[in-house]
Amino acid sequence: MRDKQPAGITILGATGSIGISTLDVVSRHPDRFRVVALTAHRDVETLAAQCRQFLPRYAVMADPAAAEQLEHRLRDAVPDVRVLAGIDALVEMAGLPEVDYVMAAIVGAAGLLPSLEAARKGKHVLLANKEALVMSGALFMQAVRDNNAVLLPIDSEHNALLQCMPDGYTPGTVPPGVCSITLTASGGPFREMPVSKLASVTPEQACAHPNWNMGRKISVDSATMMNKGLEVIEAGWLFDLQAENIRAILHPQSILHSMVEYTDGSVLAQLGNPDMRIPISHALGWPDRIVSGAEPLDMAAIGQLQFSAPDLERFPCLALAFDAWRAGGTAPAILNAANEVAVQAFLERQLAFTEIPRAIDYVMDHCDIQDAGSLDAVLGADARAREWAKGYIKSAPGRVVGT
């Protein structure tokens, strides 16, 4: 019988799309979960509203100025919430003794340290921050093993793969009987746009994902298919597979989320509407199934599903990610850092869309790949790659990008 005491949860990145979806699922199960800590970067208004609804013990803003604003907002409305600021506070929230589950949903390299802390403290780590594994896969998986943490992927593709694995499977181990995995990708908003027109696309166009409601950075990654490339690396660490055993295919409907091929020729797939509450509820309820709030899947209404191989001329970022995964060491950390800087420059209209992969390729050529056996080595590679990327952007052509 389940303990009647609700499990404590910290949500890192509570104001983003994953955080909001997590709170929606949590709100449907007040007997199972209690919110202990909520964190955000600068979105004071949203976090204040979440604090008023869920009454966490802690609220953390990564930005100190935003924390001051939040504390002012909550002083009279929710006086019992303790407001903190900065990376040290984010890390602390991931390791609180009263927390059982940590939803790691901070976007980018900024989520590495708190996600790693959750693993080191033996939590149920609900990993939506793929960059933690991309940057420091060996260190992260070792922390999971050493501290008996429970690692549950939240990305729809990796969660789908976990659901298709053999009973009792533990992430980070070789799945018995599996010969390959296939991650699906929508192809984003430019799947059918002529390649010759990609140089002139705007941030607004790149962020208009046809199927998913995501943040701006992830939406751009989806448009370049770097998101899928990062997911390939993440899948390699989660399921202990090499690049030759991982495939990516285009599937514009985003209904079939991933597939697992077994040695007997069987292929198992997980299907569902494009709603992140499905993988979130799977991880929160694991090993049980709990209500997510998602609409039931109506296959008759969908009618048909399409699949095709990705065009690497259109999506060079996917090839760059495979190259980084094969190179190993700090190469994935370099890839991720260069991509984050290039995408931000594109969003700020300092870099053309088609310059994103060129910037990444440039940085990969100029940054030495080292062993990724320590956190210092990973963070050092990240810092050097960002400097190389900034240098490229200063001299890059095609800097005028839409209005």
The CATH number linked to 392 is 1.10.1740.10
> In the prediction, which pLDDT does 403 show?
45
SS3 218: helix
CA atoms of 378 and 244, how far apart (whole Å) = 25
> In the prediction, which pLDDT does 2 show?
47
Does a structural domain hold residue 299? no
pLDDT of 342 strictly over 60: yes
For 88-123, how does the pLDDT look when each residue is reduced to its tens digit (9 = 90+)? Answer: 999 999 999 999 999 999 988 889 999 999 999 999
pLDDT of 380 strictly over 70: yes
Does a structural domain hold residue 300? no
Domain endpoint, select from 115, 137, 153: 153
Instruction: Report, as an integer, the average pLDDT of 370-376.
Output: 95
DSSP string over 292-351: --PPPP-HHHH-----B---TTT-HHHHHHHHHHHH-TTHHHHHHHHHHHHHHHHHTTSS
pLDDT of 357 strictly over 90: yes
Q: Which two tokens stand for residue 188?
A: 């984003």
| Local confidence band at 215 (pLDDT 50, 70, 90 cut-offs) | confident
Sign of CA dihedral 161, 165, 168, 170: negative
Number of domains in the chain: 2
Domain endpoint, select from 153, 180, 202: 153
CA atoms of 275 and 132, how far apart (whole Å) = 23
> In the prediction, which pLDDT does 79 show?
86
Does a structural domain hold residue 355? yes
Instruction: Report, as an integer, the average pLDDT of 171-178.
Output: 94
Tell me the average pLDDT of the chain. Answer: 94
Does a structural domain hold residue 339? yes
> In the prediction, which pLDDT does 3 show?
54
List the domain range (segments joined by +) for residue 388.
Answer: 328-396
CA atoms of 108 and 342, how far apart (whole Å) = 13
pLDDT of 209 strictly over 80: no
> In the prediction, which pLDDT does 399 show?
52
Q: Cα 107 to the chain's mean position, in Å?
A: 6
> In the prediction, which pLDDT does 143 show?
97
CA atoms of 238 and 205, how far apart (whole Å) = 32
Other beta carbons within 10 angstroms of residue 301's beta carbon come to 6
Sheet holding 178-185, edge to edge: 246-250, 178-185, 256-262, 267-271
Domain endpoint, select from 131, 153, 175: 153
Does a structural domain hold residue 205? no
Does a structural domain hold residue 353? yes
User: Which CATH number goes with the domain that contains 85?
Assistant: 3.40.50.720
> In the prediction, which pLDDT does 238 show?
97
Does a structural domain hold residue 52? yes
Does a structural domain hold residue 160? no
| Local confidence band at 397 (pLDDT 50, 70, 90 cut-offs) | low
Other beta carbons within 10 angstroms of residue 298's beta carbon come to 9
pLDDT of 247 strictly over 90: yes
For 19-59, how does the pLDDT look when each residue is reduced to its tens digit (9 = 90+)? Answer: 999 999 999 999 999 999 999 999 999 999 999 999 999 99
